[in-house]
Structure 1
Amino acid sequence: MPPSSKEGTSKALPLIGIMLIAGGLLLLGWLGWALLSPAGGKEAPYQYKKVAEGGVEEFPELGLDAYGGITVRKYKLLAEEIQKEPLVELYTGSKDNQAPVLLEWKNNLIEPLLAISSSIEDLTKLARGITEHVPSEAMVLSWWDTSRRLELLTGVNTLFNGNLAEPLLIPTPWVDQRKAIENLERDFWQVTNSGEAETRQKRVAEALLADEAKGVSILRELSDGREAYVVVHWSDAYKLGAMEPKRFGLGYKDFPGGRRVHALIPHVKDWIAENGYESYLVHRSDEDTIRTYFLTGDTDKNALIVKLLPFSTSNPMELEVLKLVAQYGSYWVYSLPPANDAG
């Protein structure tokens, strides 16, 4: 690992649709982002290579023994012309030959690439909690990818029964291959054209961008007024920034020394203040690094997504309608009472 990857200095990285400020570039030793762009734009600059397939019992590292009937596949995402080691290692799951569902996306780059997921440990904690505490008739409202994972593992009612594969986090050197990348992703994830699903996802995004009153109104509309549970993850803010950069500006900075999170907090606060930011959240991106996400520009600190996640300017206990009921690792779960129970 190059020493520069952990220095904690700030660097502007032109990832499409979102402002990023991060220390270092790569976890893998490779030649740099400029080499990510092969000649031409008719083919995607990477490919998925399946390396294993079987039942959950054949992948003990995932901890999915309680979820039988799922076919798990492990892939490597390779850009072999420039890097022999995989850029990403990922696991998918499916039942009855249906479209694959992303279980875990293990990015070997510091910068997000194409997709983001929680750890499988956090996902299984969430799934157990949903199974034990969410009534069978209730609706779970979340970003489409979280919904897909929960539907696969728990059978809970969600808004999405297919993949959308968006937003795609495409680095600038791959811009010329955007169309080829979109085609590859749609084929790999078996995305079907569903205007209804896309409309639902846009409404979810609109709810998260709104204040609590308007956001709750949209969420109740999506759940047909019945009891619902809202699940959010820090990556939802990142994806929201990629989809709506003019309305939701988000940046990040890495700080080395992730094993000493509490000792780093004063340093984080000083850096935030020195650079004129106010609202931020912190999470551990790996064993040695913590990542600080912060709102930029005129982004509204009262946006529902900010209120639901542990940003420094937010207090979940001050929400008027949504009630915090659980936290499972990096997932936060809120209850939304039926419309006829509204006070």
Structure 2
Amino acid sequence: MRLGRWLPGGLNLWAGLALLVAGGLLLLWGWPTLPPAPFHYAREEIVPPGDPRLSGLGGQFAAERGMRYVIGRGDSTVSLLVAEYRDPQGQPRHVVVYPPAGGPAVTDGNRMRSELWKKAAEAILKHTDSNALFLAWWDDAQRIDFYTGRPVWTSLPLAEAFADGEERQFWREVAGGFGEDREPLRQLARWLTMDAEQALAEMARRWPEDRPVFLLVCLDDLARLTEIEALSGTRLALEGRFFPNADDFHGQIAAVKRWAGESGGTGNYLLQPVPGAGIRAWRTTSPELDRTLLIRLLPFVRSVTDYPLGVKLVYQSDRGGYLSLFELRRPP
């Protein structure tokens, strides 16, 4: 399968380094005795329309302004850019964006994400109907709305997904509020943590057959595990580990494979490139987790050869399958 085109038919504690991913802090683990530091944030800058960080985004809507935040834990901080725009009905919307140029929010990782989201949006606009419905975690759904204008099922977080008051206030501000209808995102969290075939069967019964339904997952969704667990009431037996850059790439991959199968691991793993730093690896630690919808849709090594029967992979980006788009297939 060629990537990057439309295709027919329980974590260790924080080690002190944080990278921004999809509206969350992806923590790189090391010394397991170091406790996590408190979350903090500050709004550092108002970005005017026409600024290179906004004008080069390539969305379907003009950004009225942007807000740059600095977020972090302890002494480690990263920059985050939020664009404000209005939908066709004139309603204000927010979206976390990855600027391709200009300002402190631009990193190699954000340039990569900007490119991959633009390519995915082009494929969505070219190959899906305007009435197609898209299911994705709320921050991905906001980007689908901004980049394509396609309908999404739910695009706002829920307050109960965040245990920390400071973090809860931050995501409320960034997302443009919390969702008033709590059912869609809670249901999506339950589906993601259910047996894949059972979840897809429920989805197929929910929407009429004449409306195309698509599911989008992103590697950065792994930064949302605590939200998904809180809303689904399910503990996901996932573990992460950082492997720094090495001259011997094949030896590095061999080390990931060994780690994925030792000390309770199932041998099922996913590689997440960290630009300029190394590889973020994830492994599953229970056979039950391997059967969940989230793991079956993300590019874990056992998933890419065994996607659930209830979906069809229609698009997958490069960079390790950063974005994957599936169409819901209803039984005859």
Q: Determine the structure 1 residue equivalent to 2:326.
A: 334
**Structure 1 residues 199 and 64, CA gap change in structure 2 (3 angstroms):** same
- Pairs within 5 Å for 1:241-260: 242-244=227-229, 246-257=234-245
Q: CA deviation at 1:92?
A: 1.6
Q: Determine the structure 2 residue equivalent to 1:111.
A: none
1:22 pairs with 2:29: yes
- TM (normalized to structure 1)? 0.71
Q: How far apart, CA to CA, are the structure 1 residues paired with 2:277 and 2:117? A: 22
1:91 pairs with 2:91: no
Question: Which among 229, 234, 241 is matched to residue 219 of structure 2?
Answer: 234
Q: How far apart, CA to CA, are the structure 2 residues paired with 1:219 and 1:261? A: 41
Q: Determine the structure 1 residue equivalent to 2:69.
A: 76
Bigger drift between 238-247 and 69-78 goes to 238-247
Q: How far apart, CA to CA, are the structure 2 residues paired with 1:123 and 1:181? A: 26
Match for 2:317: what amino acid? Y
- Determine if contact 1:257/1:288 at 8 Å carries over to the other structure: yes
Q: How far apart, CA to CA, are the structure 2 residues paired with 1:272 and 1:79? A: 29
- Determine if contact 1:94/1:152 at 8 Å carries over to the other structure: no
Deviation by residue 1:79-128 (Cα, 9 ceiling, x = unmatched) = 79x75xx81211222223713211239999xxxxxxx9x82222212111
**Structure 1 residues 333 and 291, CA gap change in structure 2 (3 angstroms):** same
**Structure 1 residues 272 and 187, CA gap change in structure 2 (3 angstroms):** closer
- Pairs within 5 Å for 1:10-49: 12-13=12-13, 22-23=29-30, 36-37=37-38, 45-49=40-44
Unaligned runs of 5+ in 1: 1-10, 26-31, 38-43, 109-115, 171-177
Q: How far apart, CA to CA, are the structure 2 residues paired with 1:200 and 1:295? A: 26
Q: Determine the structure 1 residue equivalent to 2:260.
A: 272
Look up the SS of the partner of 1:213 in the other structure: helix
Q: CA deviation at 1:144?
A: 1.5
Q: Determine the structure 2 residue equivalent to 1:282.
A: 271
Q: CA deviation at 1:262?
A: 4.1
1:309 pairs with 2:304: no
How much is the aligned-residue C-alpha RMSD, in angstroms? 3.6
Match for 2:289: what amino acid? D
**Structure 1 residues 12 and 21, CA gap change in structure 2 (3 angstroms):** farther
Paired residue total: 291
Q: CA deviation at 1:143?
A: 1.1
- Determine if contact 1:127/1:150 at 8 Å carries over to the other structure: yes
Q: CA deviation at 1:166?
A: 7.4
1:147 pairs with 2:138: no
Match for 2:85: what amino acid? K
Q: Percent identity?
A: 22
Q: How far apart, CA to CA, are the structure 2 residues paired with 1:316 and 1:133? A: 24
**Structure 1 residues 47 and 14, CA gap change in structure 2 (3 angstroms):** same
Look up the SS of the partner of 2:243 in the other structure: strand
Unaligned runs of 5+ in 2: 1-10, 16-26
1:189 pairs with 2:175: yes
